[in-house]
Structure 1
Amino acid sequence: MKLLTFSTLFPNHERPGHGIFVETRLRHLVASGEVESRVVAPVPWFPLRHARFGSYGRFARVPAAEVRSGIQVLHPRYLLLPKVGMTPAPLLMARAMKPVLRKLIDEGFDFDAIDAHYFYPDGVAAMMLGKYFRKPVVITARGSDITLLPGYKWPGRMIRWAADNAAGVITVCAALREELLALGADPAKVVSLRNGVDLELFRPPLDRAALRKQLQMDGLTLLSVGNLVPVKGHELTIAALTELKEATLLIAGSGPELARLQALADQLQVAGRVRFLGPLPQATLRDYYGAADVMVLSSSREGWANVLLESMACGTPVAASKVWGTPEVVAHTDAGVLMQERSAAGIAAAVRALLAAGPERAATRRYAEGFSWDDTTAGQLRLFRDVIGKAG
């Protein structure tokens, strides 16, 4: 089967961790030997590459093409209008991608189906392209594209249109499937295929004591991983330190909230117990997972939080907020605990409960081993065979 994977959520040389869950799922799918893929990962056009232009400057530095894990990845540009970009984005993206897809077909990659990720604008644009090129489209819903964006009038209307016209829809958790059905999606077309975890990359350390010393960890150490944005709730985890007097918090990630979070730590007089690590490559992140005592995730929204499984695969249990797909990930005491309330006090209580329960790190690793990519890959193969067969 020849698949065109289409999403703005895909890693690139400039942002190697961006949408890495899409790349990981695709990598395992291609490894099955039954799928050949090309990736079109559109990038907003911007004329200047200088760092002073922030994220727009980074867009300009993304290469036009690269090869990742043996897969050819194209990063064609499309126009994204500042401030008003959300409404016309799907149409502008689709128009800019038509010649790109036409060239791929003319050069011999006449794909059988489009494998799109994130409903808006990516999935909507992919659906427009699918109709133009007469190719079936499968769209994967990943979180806020279903839990948040349908609340906006135009995106909501276009998301429903894309779901109605897609040949198939994948959700990364059962909770998102239920939400899609509530939006009117056809149950026969929507399948839940959760993300897996790379059990070879994420594994317990051979010498945890030596690793903790190397990473300067002493005493109870909490780890929080995620972009520094409001939805991740890092401010709640920092505030929980006022109750967890013995704990140190390490935060891995970057984003616009850094200065505000640093100021909050100062205000609460816990700055000496908070370390901002910045963005970390996965191999380095693995070491921090394995060395920490508890991984804390206090998000207000999550489709399927890969960081939870990554931490568990390294033997570290989690304390997580009870949102969307997270209860499906943290479904046993060996995995960790769910917060009874999403607050600083709720985080502190969850951490204490987890420490009191004391799951063995080996048991946490065994729990994570039940989330390999094998079942998800098999589910994708079944779906794409069916979709392509019906289209043929």
Structure 2
Amino acid sequence: MKLLTFSTLYPNAEQPNHGIFVETRLRYLVASGKVTSRVVAPVPWFPLKGERFGHYGTLAKVPRRETRNGLQVSHPRYLVVPKVGMNYTPWTLARAARKDIGRILDEGYDFDAIDAHYFYPDGVAAVMLGKYFNKPVVVTARGTDINLIPRFERPRRLILEAAREADGIITVCKALKDEMVQLGVAPDNITPLRNGVDLERFQPIDRTAARAAVGLVPGRFTLLSVGLLDPRKAHDLIIRALPRLPDVDLLIAGIGPERKNLEQLARELGVQDRVTLLGAVPQTELKNYYNAADALVLASSREGWANVLLEAMACGTPVVASNVWGTPEVVAAPEAGVLMPERTPDGLVRALGQLRADYPEHTATRRYAENFGWQPTTQGQIDLFQSIMARKAA
């Protein structure tokens, strides 16, 4: 099968970790030998390059075309209109991608279907493009696109229209399927296919050597939090718990607008010497931090399927996580870790105490993660696309 993968959530030369989960799933799908794909990953238009322009200056430097992991990727520019962009971005996104997709067809790559990721605005735009090019569309829902954005009236209406017209819908956890059904989407058209974990990239290494490599203090129980520094990820909740955890240190890997606020909070609570903000950590180096930490903490208010949980477990490191959305489907056994009884600093302290009182063997945590390889998800995608092709042929 020939697919066209379409998403604004896709890595590029300037943002190598952006949407890495979309690229990873696609890499495994292509590695099956049954699928090929070209990628159209639009980025917002901005006229000026350079660090002085912050995030948008970085986006301006993204190449128009590149090759990543053997896949050809194009990055057309789409317009984001300040203040009203949320309501109009599906149209600007579809319009920007149309020329690149036309070029791909002219080059002889007559794809069978559009494989879109993230329902709004990407999935809505993909359905528009499917109509224009007369191609079936499958949209993957990943989290905030379903558990937050539909709170806004116009996006909700557009999501429901796109869901009715899409040829197939994938959700990365059962909880997101349940939420879509509650919104009014037909359950028969929704297929839950969880994300997997790269068991070769993320695996146990000598933990003493890993701790030394990242400069951890010997004998200190160390927590790791990984994710964008924004309120939804709730790194601040972990910092607020530290005054009640005097023998615990915290590493935070990620970049984002909350960095200064997190640094200030650590100073106000007198725990600044126990909090280290690592900045951006490439995926190739994350394995060292997962192995060095005693536990990964994920305190998010919303998650579809949090890949960092399985990445840590694959390295043998148990987790403490908020009990939200798809997370209970990931943390489903004692060897995996513990869910917080409530998403508060007190809830974190209690969950961490439970984990430390009955700390699992690292080998058991790794064995648990081995149940979450990519093969079932890859086969599920192949089966879904094949069934859609068969329906279209009939």
TM range (shorter): over 0.9
Q: Which residue of 2 aligns with 1:215?
A: 214
The one-letter amino acid of 1:255's match is G
Q: How does 1:279-298 map to 2 (within 5 A)?
A: 279-298=280-299
* 1:303 lines up with 2:310 in the alignment: no
The one-letter amino acid of 1:307's match is V
Task: Tell me how far 1:84 sits from its aligned partner.
Answer: 1.5
Task: Tell me how far 1:188 sits from its aligned partner.
Answer: 1.3
Per-residue CA deviation, residues 101-140 of structure 1 (Å, 9 max, x unaligned), is 1111111011100000000000000000001111100000
Per-residue CA deviation, residues 304-361 of structure 1 (Å, 9 max, x unaligned), is 0000000000000000000000000000000000000101111111111101111000
Normalization by structure 1: what TM-score?
Answer: 0.99
* 1:161 lines up with 2:170 in the alignment: no
Q: Which residue of 1 aligns with 2:341?
A: 340
Q: How does 1:231-380 map to 2 (within 5 A)?
A: 231-380=232-381
Q: Which residue of 1 aligns with 2:200?
A: 200
Q: Give identity over the alignment, percent.
A: 61
Q: Which residue of 2 aligns with 1:24?
A: 24
Task: Tell me how far 1:215 sits from its aligned partner.
Answer: 1.5
The one-letter amino acid of 1:8's match is T
Q: How does 1:37-56 map to 2 (within 5 A)?
A: 37-56=37-56
Task: Tell me how far 1:147 sits from its aligned partner.
Answer: 0.2
What's the secondary structure of 1:364's corresponding residue? helix
Query: Aligned partners of 2:208 and 2:113: how far apart in 1?
Result: 49
The one-letter amino acid of 1:269's match is G
* 1:81 lines up with 2:81 in the alignment: yes
Q: Which residue of 2 aligns with 1:381?
A: 382
Q: Which residue of 2 aligns with 1:151?
A: 151
Query: Aligned partners of 2:389 and 2:153: how far apart in 1?
Result: 32
Q: How many residues align?
A: 391
What's the secondary structure of 1:29's corresponding residue? helix
The one-letter amino acid of 2:39's match is V
Normalization by structure 2: what TM-score?
Answer: 0.98
Structure 1: runs of 5+ lacking an equivalent: none
Query: Aligned partners of 1:21 and 1:210: how far apart in 2?
Result: 28
Task: Tell me how far 1:214 sits from its aligned partner.
Answer: 2.3
Query: Aligned partners of 1:106 and 1:113: how far apart in 2?
Result: 16
Query: Aligned partners of 2:211 and 2:78: how far apart in 1?
Result: 45
Q: How does 1:120-139 map to 2 (within 5 A)?
A: 120-139=120-139
Query: Aligned partners of 1:352 and 1:341: how far apart in 2?
Result: 14
Q: Deviating runs (4+, > 4 A) in structure 1?
A: none
Q: Which residue of 1 aligns with 2:69?
A: 69
Per-residue CA deviation, residues 30-79 of structure 1 (Å, 9 max, x unaligned), is 00101010000001111100111111101100001111110000001111
Q: Which residue of 1 aligns with 2:100?
A: 100
What's the secondary structure of 1:239's corresponding residue? helix
Query: Aligned partners of 1:57 and 1:85: how far apart in 2?
Result: 19
Q: Which residue of 2 aligns with 1:10?
A: 10
What's the secondary structure of 1:251's corresponding residue? strand
Query: Aligned partners of 2:207 and 2:237: how far apart in 1?
Result: 28
